[in-house]
Amino acid sequence: MIDSLDRAGGAEQSLTAMAPQLVRSGVRLDVAYLRESPGGFQAELTAAGAVVFGVHHATRTRTAAALHALVRERRPDLVHTTRYESDVLGRAAALAAGRPVVSSLVNSAYGPEHVRARGLSPWKVRAAQAVDAATAQGTRRFHALTRHVAAAMARRLRIRGDRIDVVPRGRDPQLLGDVTPERRGAVRAALGLAEDVPVVLAAARQQYQKGLDVLLEAWPQVRRQAPGAVLLLAGGEGAESGRLRALAERAGEVRFLGPREDVFDLMAASDAFAVPSRWEGLGSTAMEAMGVGVPLVCSDVPALRETVGSGDYARLVAPEQPGALAAALVDTLGDRVAAGVRARSARARFLTSFTLHQVTGQMVEFYERSLRSRGA
C-alpha cells in the first residue's frame, strides 16, 4: 500500500524500479494506491507483473473500509505500507483483516526541524505523530532507509530498535548510465548550453525540506566567482515555488525545468549536482548522482552523510549556510580534477551498496524475516 503512484515521488519510483525483480524473485505483488495518480506508474507496475488497485475515496473512513475489503479479498501473506496515509489506514485495515503488516520508515519525521518548518502547524505535526505511533504498535517489523532514520523513528514512534531492518533504496546502473562526452554533448545541445558553460543541477520538489531557497541564496556568490554559470532546477512545483521564483529573479541564470523524466541525462551533462536539503531519509537523488558519476555537493545532514559516506565522495556542507554551499560549488566547478576523483569514488561506492539487484535481495530477505517473526 502506498499513498500515490505519482512519478515525482521517491517511494513511488523505488517501488516501480523494484517491482520486476520482486516478481522474478517469486513475490506475488499487489499494489494499492490511495490517491488518484493520472499519468503515474500504473502501466509500468502492471507490465512488471503486479496487480494494481486504485483505492481512493472522499473520506479516510471509506478508504479504510475499502482497504480492509481488499485485504480480505486478496489475503496477502504480508501487507507492506509506505507513507503516512497508507501507514495509518493500511495498518488498521490489515490488522482488522488478520493479516501481518510491515511499514517503511522513509524519513526522520516529527523532529524539531518539522515543528519549525515553514507552512507546518506544530500541533498538527504532534497529532500526526501520535496517530502514527499508536498504529505502529501492531506492526510486525519496520524497514528504514538509513540507520539514522531507524534510530530517530524508534524514539519518536516508541518502537524497539530490534524491530527495524535497514535497507536503502537502489537503482539500476544500466538505467542511470554514466558520463560520456557524447551524452553530455547531446543533452547540452538540447538545452542550448555550450560545452564550456559551468552547469549546476538540482532535482527536487519545491518544498521547504529540500532547501532550494538556500541554493538560490548561494547562487549570486557562485556566479561572481564562476561567471556564466547556469543553475538548472528540475522538479515539480510545491509550497515554496513562489518564494523560489522571487529569489531566482535576483540570482541570475536560473532555469526552472519543471518535472523531468530525463534527470539522469541532466546529471550526466552537469558539472555539479547540488542537494541542499534541510533533512532527508536517504537522499535518493544524491544516491542517483553517485551512480551516474557527477560531482556531488550536499548538506551534511545525518541521512545524506550516511548515504554519501564521507568527504571522499562528495563535498559536504552545513545545512542552511548559503556561503558554505557557494564555496563548495565554486571549488567543485574550479577544481575539476579533484571533483572527478570524488565522483569516481562515489560511483564505486554506489556499485557496492545501492544497485537495484542488491537492494531487491535485501527486501525479499526482510519479507521472509517478517513472516518468520510471528512472536515479535
Q: In what order do the strands lie in the sheet with 254-258?
A: 254-258, 230-234, 199-203, 272-275, 296-299, 315-317
Say if residues 335 and 198 touch (Cβ distance below 8 Å): no
**pLDDT value, residue 234:** 97
- Is residue 216 domain-resident? yes
- Is residue 178 domain-resident? yes
**pLDDT value, residue 114:** 72
| CATH number of the domain residue 62 falls in | 3.40.50.2000
End-to-end C-alpha distance for the chain, whole angstroms: 22
- Is residue 211 domain-resident? yes
- pTM of the entire predicted model: 0.91
Same domain, 283 and 216: yes
Same domain, 304 and 202: yes
Sign of CA dihedral 129, 132, 134, 139: negative
- The three three-digit cell numbers of residue 82, written as one number: 509506505
Three-state DSSP state, 210: helix
Beta bridge partners of 232: 201, 255
Angle, CA of 322, 119 and 59, to the nearest 5°: 140
Distance CA 46, CA 206 (A): 30
Same domain, 115 and 220: no
Beta bridge partners of 54: 33
- Is residue 241 domain-resident? yes
pLDDT digits (tens, 9 = 90+) for 160-208: 999 999 999 999 999 999 999 999 999 999 999 999 999 999 999 999 9
Same domain, 297 and 363: no
Say if residues 81 and 102 touch (Cβ distance below 8 Å): yes
Give residue 280's domain range. Answer: 173-353
Same domain, 164 and 270: no
Say if residues 274 and 201 touch (Cβ distance below 8 Å): yes
**pLDDT value, residue 374:** 66
- Is residue 3 domain-resident? no
Same domain, 182 and 95: no
Three-state DSSP state, 57: coil
Residue the block writes with cell 518502537: 159
Same domain, 313 and 364: no
Same domain, 158 and 14: yes
Task: Tell me which amino acid residue 168 is.
Answer: P
Residue the block writes with cell 535497507: 167
- DSSP state letter for 298: E
- The three three-digit cell numbers of residue 159, written as one number: 518502537
Same domain, 319 and 364: no
Sequence-distant (6+) residues with CB within 8 A of 48 are 16, 19, 20, 23, 29
- Is residue 165 domain-resident? yes
- Is residue 297 domain-resident? yes
- Is residue 4 domain-resident? no
Same domain, 347 and 205: yes
Q: Give the count of domains, the chain.
A: 2
Residues of the chain falling short of pLDDT 50: 375-376
Say if residues 233 and 255 touch (Cβ distance below 8 Å): yes
Same domain, 101 and 225: no
Same domain, 188 and 160: no
